[in-house]
Amino acid sequence: MRGTSVRGTWLDYVCLEVVNEGEERVKGCMGYLFSVELETERGPHLESDKHPAYLQWSSKDGGGKENAFTTQATLDVAEISGRVFPLVVFDERQRDQYGMVAGYSYLLDIEVSSENAGKARRKYRLRTSSDLHDNVFEEVGSA
């Protein structure tokens, strides 16, 4: 899995590129957000108002909670569209509960699992600049 930022005409998306390294088509693949932590000078602080939730696949890969693919697919993680931006959770009605503030750094605990290709759980750092142009999304280790 690789973290990427995809810049569009109107919105920027922070995404995970999920790559199939096997020969069999990946079935029933889902992305699950376990937790969000705000990084502070005293260490990470759990954002208790951001409950575990499924992330949504990119619209170019069909959207939705579950995906099947042969080589790779894109899991949307966050939509960078203003000073407060939402994580792209599957249930759109919950997105306003998952807002993060530009200019801060967050740790996201994300698991990608499938019916036939196993699972991988990793932590990612999402750091946004106050001007919203120098966003960083990187893997920082296993969860």
- pLDDT tens-digit readout, 79-106: 887 788 889 999 988 888 888 888 899 9
pLDDT band at 47 (very low <50, low <70, confident <90, very high): very high
The whole-angstrom separation of Cα 86 and Cα 1 is 21
For the chain, the maximum distance between any two Cα atoms, rounded to a whole number of angstroms, is 45
Compute the average pLDDT of residues 104-128: 91
- pLDDT tens-digit readout, 51-78: 999 999 998 888 899 999 998 999 999 8
> What architecture (CATH level 2) is domain 2-142?
Sandwich (2.60)
Domain ranges of the chain: 2-142
- The dihedral through the CA atoms of 7, 8, 9, 12 has a sign that is negative
Please give the pLDDT value at position 130.
64
Question: What is the per-residue DSSP string for 39-108?
Answer: EETTEEEE-TTS--EEB-B-GGGT-SS-EEESSEEEEEEEEE-SSEEEB-BSSGGGGGGGEEETT-EEEE
